[in-house]
């Protein structure tokens, strides 16, 4: 056999090394040009390596160097070879959900205890730059669809054919080898290029005959010189994918490289790939090309109430949530309203077990004293959640049904996105639920639908106004916006308010000058600075980035935008923070939806949609009255997420509840007469509670009497270094068996939350949501450490299995805490809202999160300066941050300190009344998991009962 280096020159060498260098140079120029146009563009590839195999490390270094050369950020995630499948899954999931990452590769092989197939398919198809995912390979079989990525080696082979102008259409092609990585996708790709393809493999007969007849031969069988030279048809194209080491004492390395085709085939073929230097370099080049393609795609595609308990009938084992809810018959809503002393005009039933309660109650009870105000928050949770809603509901049941105190729970309305997605409903759980839980978790009284309609009306109005301004003169706009009726023009209220804002002194339409008319009717919306997005209450990842205005009737007005989930709409935040119908109307009107080309903010009132929004939201302003399983009243109202919004139920619900359980006018509350409102703040105390204090309490004027911090042994063990907790997967032994070392180490997370609650002058009570796997020693350890950390008390609860009876000790502690003398230096805000934006951010970051520094992107710096110039500086801060860590990195568990908090962007919600910085990457429209909750949800056709909802 001849040495490939000494091959005769009869065939044209398909020089992969040279072509790959061309491809890399083109990619480098492409990335640089795209970044020049879009400075935020930064392709990123993450390579996961399990173990320390030297050959794998070499390949990783090669890819790292190649990425650096063309401007791709490269991250090497090296994991110990003892890592378990669920731990690796968690890492892949984290990277899958990191929008800064455009490509993920797993360096193969992996240790035997891990499933290569599972790993490959756990990578999102849109980040599978190796092209190995079944979805990507599957799309190759369809001529009407395209995969996100083609497999790199076959793609490199195709690129060689294209670069050498080799026509494939109509040719007879034989592919020897059917691996998922090379052979099978290669055959499909050639077929899609109109070749007539035969795929051969180890069981194929007459391989020699098939090869002899082929115009194009691709060999990837992994057998040295499997295809003989005399099999090659004269003038054929040969692509040799093989790379096999053969002993050769004449070589310095002691071996030489041979392909899957005999080297002498060079004398018969018209074109042939050398070994080495043929296909190999192209594989890496195509990987880089896939990363850039993926990055570009992702970039384009960003007075005293009657206490009448409803007795529980506990069962063991505890049935499903929906079964429990079905067994417990709730009171008729009219009966509950009567127990609350609501007049007939103060509530409007929605079916048998829910009603809207009007804000007229506040007017009637304006002289009454408030009940005790208790906020429920939590530690940094696991992805499973720690039962904060369950504790909120169960505590109110314990106060009401077992301590016989007037008590209300105020919770947020669940979004249908999580309900049908991965998290499920939010009515509590077990024997501590809001009922009917099916009603609560589905449409309820339509508030979220109203928000969706209102939000999307704004979006439609913005795009329509931009369209009409582009197609009409000032005079035409004015004629349509202020039509002549009965010989005269009257200015609509939105136009009168706009005249006042822009400083037009005229008092009638007829006295307006041409310049006045232009200022009045032409908003000059900058399409690149429209900040308002459409929403829907469904987890739909494919609507995160969209293009609108593609129809011919829109005359070239297309622009990129996207959808958020409905509960992320600013209108939801407005609903949660408003105090009256007039206040809501004013807040809706001042919401900023875009900027003009000259940088002037454009509001809903400028668009003229304020009144219509208020009409759509009028009924939603009234909180929805429901009840717990034990008959205690509940207000379900508003539903902003705590990681991307302020994460608290509404001010009006809390205010009405506080009056309903409060004392009559002129009376002073005593420990015996005081009622209790238990309101929930989303996620951990670093997020929901901080915003409860600095945003919600600042807007409402209400002061909490106590804070309940919900903790679980499971979550504390996770923070102590336990394995990742992954939804849908069994818990590791560390969580089901006693482990005091992990627990004590992870207690630092709870200690930090206790300190933070105390920092604003609120006494903290720890509610340990106990599981059957928690040992007495573990529960005792948490109690002791919490008290030593300064908690007023720490109480294990068993709400899921026992309802309110499982939290009577907690309820007693809450009563004692709320009725203790208040210190002179009691409740206080964390910061003065008049401080500069950066100073407020850094107070939160350094005092609550314990960050060492805060860094700001160029965009954030620009926005901060702009907000100060616009006079928006004196608003509270609503940090958009992961709920899983004090930092912006969800993987940084326990109680980190000294880290940098990155502010990548900052936005203003003038209607809600806060500035919200975005810390790291935050997703405002979730996606559905592989097996969403909707798989289990159905209706029994005979009974009509809903099944599978939890």
Tell me which residues are annotated as active site: 63
Q: Is-contact 515 527, C-beta < 8 A?
A: no
Q: Cα–Cα distance between 54 and 77 in angstroms, integer?
A: 15
Q: How far is CA 34 from CA 40, 572, 927, in A?
A: 10, 37, 28
Nearest to 385, CA basis, from 934, 904, 883 = 883
What the block records as the tokens of 76 is 């090497």
Nearest to 704, CA basis, from 816, 821, 827, 819 = 827
Sheet holding 44-50: strands in order across? 73-79, 44-50, 103-106
What the block records as the tokens of 86 is 């669920």
Q: Cα–Cα distance between 470 and 524 in angstroms, integer?
A: 9
Q: Is-contact 684 378, C-beta < 8 A?
A: yes
How far does Cα 674 stand from its chain's mean position? 40
Handedness of CA 501, 503, 508, 512 (dihedral sign): negative
Handedness of CA 688, 693, 698, 701 (dihedral sign): positive
Q: Is-contact 437 321, C-beta < 8 A?
A: yes
Cα end-to-end distance, the chain, whole Å: 70
CB burial string 589-602: b at 16+ within 10 A, e below: bbbbbbbeeeeebb
DSSP 188-211: HHHHHTT-EEEEE-TT-S-HHHHH
Q: Cα–Cα distance between 125 and 146 in angstroms, integer?
A: 12
Q: Is-contact 378 386, C-beta < 8 A?
A: yes
CB burial string 850-880: b at 16+ within 10 A, e below: bbeebebeeebeebbeebeeeebbebbbbbb
Nearest to 469, CA basis, from 562, 606, 588 = 606
Q: Cα–Cα distance between 152 and 96 in angstroms, integer?
A: 20
**Placement of tokens 């608003």 in the chain:** 875
**Placement of tokens 């790291």 in the chain:** 920
Widest CA span in the chain: 107
Cross-strand bridge partners of residue 381: none
DSSP 607-658: HT-HHHHHHHHTGGGSPEEEEETTS-EEEE-----TTTS--B--HHHHHHHH
Length of the chain: 950
Q: Is-contact 660 672, C-beta < 8 A?
A: no
CB burial string 626-648: b at 16+ within 10 A, e below: bbbbbbbbbbbbbbbbbbbbbbb
What region does 699 belong to: left with phi over 0, alpha with psi -120 to 50, or beta?
alpha
Nearest to 629, CA basis, from 400, 413, 304 = 400
Helix and strand totals (H; E) in the chain: 34, 37
Omega before 317 cis (within 30°)?
Answer: yes
**Cα dihedral value 166, 168, 174, 178, nearest 10:** 100
Q: How far is CA 779 from CA 72, 304, 393, 724, 767, in A?
A: 49, 37, 22, 21, 11
Q: Cα–Cα distance between 310 and 37 in angstroms, integer?
A: 65
């Amino acid at each position: 056999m001849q040495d490939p280096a000494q091959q005769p020159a009869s065939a044209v060498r398909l020089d992969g090394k040279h072509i790959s260098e061309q491809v890399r140079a083109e990619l480098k120029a492409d990335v640089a040009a795209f970044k020049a146009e879009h400075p935020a563009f930064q392709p990123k590839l993450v390579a996961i390596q399990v173990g320390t195999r030297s050959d794998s490390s070499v390949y990783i270094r090669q890819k790292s160097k190649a990425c650096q050369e063309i401007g791709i950020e490269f991250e090497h995630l090296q994991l110990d070879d003892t890592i378990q499948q669920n731990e690796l899954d968690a890492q892949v999931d984290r990277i899958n959900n990191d929008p800064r990452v455009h490509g993920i590769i797993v360096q193969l092989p992996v240790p035997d205890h891990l499933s290569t197939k599972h790993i490959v398919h756990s990578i999102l198809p849109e980040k599978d730059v190796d092209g190995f995912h079944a979805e990507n390979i599957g799309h190759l079989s369809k001529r009407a669809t395209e995969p996100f990525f083609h497999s790199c080696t076959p793609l490199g082979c195709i690129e060689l054919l294209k670069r050498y102008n080799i026509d494939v259409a109509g040719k007879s092609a034989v592919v020897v080898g059917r691996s998922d990585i090379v052979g099978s996708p290669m055959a499909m790709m050639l077929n899609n290029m109109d070749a007539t393809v035969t795929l051969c493999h180890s069981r194929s007969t007459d391989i020699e005959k098939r090869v002899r007849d082929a115009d194009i031969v691709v060999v990837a069988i992994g057998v040295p010189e499997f295809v003989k030279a005399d099999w090659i048809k004269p003038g054929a194209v040969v692509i040799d994918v093989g790379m096999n080491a053969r002993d050769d004492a004449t070589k310095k390395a002691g071996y030489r490289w041979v392909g899957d085709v005999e080297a002498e085939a060079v004398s018969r073929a018209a074109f042939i790939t050398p070994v080495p230097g043929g296909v190999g370099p192209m594989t890496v080049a195509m990987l880089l090309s896939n990363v850039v393609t993926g990055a570009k795609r992702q970039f384009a595609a960003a007075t005293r109430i009657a206490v009448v308990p409803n007795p529980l009938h506990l069962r063991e084992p505890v049935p499903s949530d929906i079964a429990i809810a079905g067994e417990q018959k709730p009171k008729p809503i009219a009966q509950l309203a009567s127990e609350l002393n609501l007049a007939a005009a103060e509530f409007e039933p929605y079916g048998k077990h829910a009603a809207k309660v009007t804000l007229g109650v506040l007017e009637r009870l304006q002289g009454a004293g408030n009940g005790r105000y208790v906020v429920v928050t939590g530690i940094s949770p696991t992805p499973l959640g720690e039962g904060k809603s369950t504790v909120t509901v169960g505590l109110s049941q314990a106060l009401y049904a077992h301590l016989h105190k007037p008590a209300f729970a105020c919770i947020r309305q669940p979004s249908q996105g999580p309900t049908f997605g991965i998290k499920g409903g939010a009515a509590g759980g077990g024997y501590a639920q809001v009922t009917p839980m099916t009603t609560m978790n589905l449409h309820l009284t339509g508030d979220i639908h109203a928000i969706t309609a209102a939000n999307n009306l704004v979006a439609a109005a913005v795009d329509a106004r931009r369209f009409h301004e582009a197609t009409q003169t000032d005079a035409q706009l004015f004629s349509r916006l202020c039509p002549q009726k009965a010989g005269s023009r009257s200015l609509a209220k939105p136009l009168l308010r706009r005249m006042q804002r822009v400083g037009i002194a005229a008092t009638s339409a007829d006295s307006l000058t041409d310049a006045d008319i232009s200022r009045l009717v032409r908003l000059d919306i900058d399409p690149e600075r429209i900040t308002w997005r459409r929403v829907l209450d469904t987890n739909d990842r494919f609507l995160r980035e969209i293009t609108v205005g593609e129809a011919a009737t829109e005359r070239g007005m297309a622009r990129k935008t996207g959808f958020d989930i409905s509960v992320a709409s600013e209108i939801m935040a407005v609903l949660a923070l408003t105090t009256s119908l007039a206040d809501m109307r004013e807040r809706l009107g001042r919401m900023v939806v875009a900027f003009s080309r000259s940088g002037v903010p454009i509001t809903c009132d400028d668009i003229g949609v304020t009144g219509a929004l208020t009409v759509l939201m009028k009924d939603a302003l009234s909180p929805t009255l429901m009840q717990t399983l034990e008959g205690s009243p509940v207000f379900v109202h508003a539903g902003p997420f705590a990681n991307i919004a302020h994460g608290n139920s509404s001010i009006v619900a809390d205010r009405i509840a506080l009056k309903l359980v409060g004392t009559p006018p002129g009376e002073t509350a005593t420990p015996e007469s005081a009622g209790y409102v238990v309101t929930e703040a989303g996620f951990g105390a670093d997020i929901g509670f901080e915003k409860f204090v600095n945003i919600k309490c600042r807007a409402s004027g209400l002061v909490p009497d106590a804070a309940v911090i919900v903790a679980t042994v499971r979550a504390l063990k996770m923070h102590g270094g336990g394995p990742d907790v992954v939804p849908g997967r069994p818990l590791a032994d560390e969580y089901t068996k006693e482990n005091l070392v992990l627990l004590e180490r992870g207690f630092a997370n709870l200690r930090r939350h206790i300190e933070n609650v105390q920092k604003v002058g609120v006494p903290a009570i720890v509610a340990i949501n106990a599981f059957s796997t928690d040992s007495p020693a573990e529960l005792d350890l948490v109690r002791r450490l919490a008290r030593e950390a300064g908690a007023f008390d720490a109480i294990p609860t068993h709400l899921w299995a026992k309802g309110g009876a499982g939290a009577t000790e907690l309820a007693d502690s809450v009563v004692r805490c709320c009725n203790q003398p208040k210190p002179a230096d009691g409740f206080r805000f964390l910061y003065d809202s008049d401080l500069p934006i950066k100073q407020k951010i850094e107070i939160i970051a350094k005092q609550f999160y314990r960050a060492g520094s805060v860094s700001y992107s160029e965009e954030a710096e620009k926005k901060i300066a702009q907000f100060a110039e616009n006079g928006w500086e004196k608003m509270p801060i609503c940090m958009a941050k992961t709920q899983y860590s004090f930092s912006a990195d969800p993987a940084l568990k326990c109680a980190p300190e000294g880290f940098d908090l990155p502010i990548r962007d900052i936005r203003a919600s003038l209607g809600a009344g806060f500035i919200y910085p975005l810390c790291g990457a935050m997703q405002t429209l979730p996606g559905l998991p592989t097996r969403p909750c909707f798989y289990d949800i159905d209706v029994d056709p005979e009974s009509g009962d809903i099944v599978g909802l939890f």
